[in-house]
């Protein structure tokens, strides 16, 4: 079952401003597993298997959303590019495990420059 906790699938600009500029959402897919003890684990493979647990699937998604924002901001603050994200059809089939109960779309806000960096231009003389 594929479900999204938050609406919207585009990288549309948000109304919040950071450092005087508009913020944009980058979307990452998370998988949600249910452990044998009843806890839920939400993980984001595109962010180095970043994971968080919760008593409910919504708690786990909320925790991993917060951690994803912190991880991406730390990467950007270090001068690196935003980690690439995959489309749902690009998620490997081996991720679909027997414990998986769903997937969620996780938004992370970044500045315009980080969302769509200017490609390098090669000018001929």
Here the tokens at position 65 are: 């959303």
pLDDT value for 122: 56
| Domain membership flag for residue 4 | no
| Domain membership flag for residue 40 | yes
Separation of alpha carbons 95 and 119, rounded Å: 32
pLDDT value for 47: 94
pLDDT value for 11: 43
| Domain membership flag for residue 119 | no
The answer to whether the CB of 45 falls within 8 A of the CB of 91 is yes
| Domain membership flag for residue 121 | no
| Domain membership flag for residue 120 | no
Here the tokens at position 123 are: 């000018």
Give the structural domain span for 43.
13-108
More confident residue, 104 or 7: 104
CATH code assigned at 55: 3.30.160.250
| Domain membership flag for residue 1 | no
pLDDT average, residue stretch 112-119: 70
pLDDT at 4 over 70: no
| Domain membership flag for residue 52 | yes
Give the pLDDT confidence of 16-50 residue by residue, as tens digits.
Answer: 444 557 888 999 999 899 999 999 999 999 998 79
> How many C-beta atoms lie closer than 10 Å to residue 81's C-beta?
9
pLDDT value for 42: 95
pLDDT at 2 over 60: no
**Structural domain count, the chain:** 1
| Domain membership flag for residue 3 | no
Here the tokens at position 66 are: 């917060």
């Amino acid at each position: 079952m594929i479900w999204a906790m938050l609406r919207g699938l585009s990288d549309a600009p948000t109304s919040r401003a950071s450092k005087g500029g508009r913020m944009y959402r980058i979307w990452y897919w998370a998988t949600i597993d249910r452990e044998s003890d009843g806890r839920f684990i939400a993980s984001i493979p595109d962010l180095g298997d970043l994971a968080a647990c919760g008593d409910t699937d919504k708690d786990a998604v909320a925790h991993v959303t917060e951690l994803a924002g912190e991880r991406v901001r730390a990467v950007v603050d270090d001068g690196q590019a935003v980690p690439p994200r995959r489309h749902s059809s690009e998620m490997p089939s081996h991720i679909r495990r027997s414990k998986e109960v769903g997937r969620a779309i996780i938004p992370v806000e970044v500045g315009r420059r980080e969302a769509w960096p200017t490609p390098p231009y090669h000018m001929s003389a």
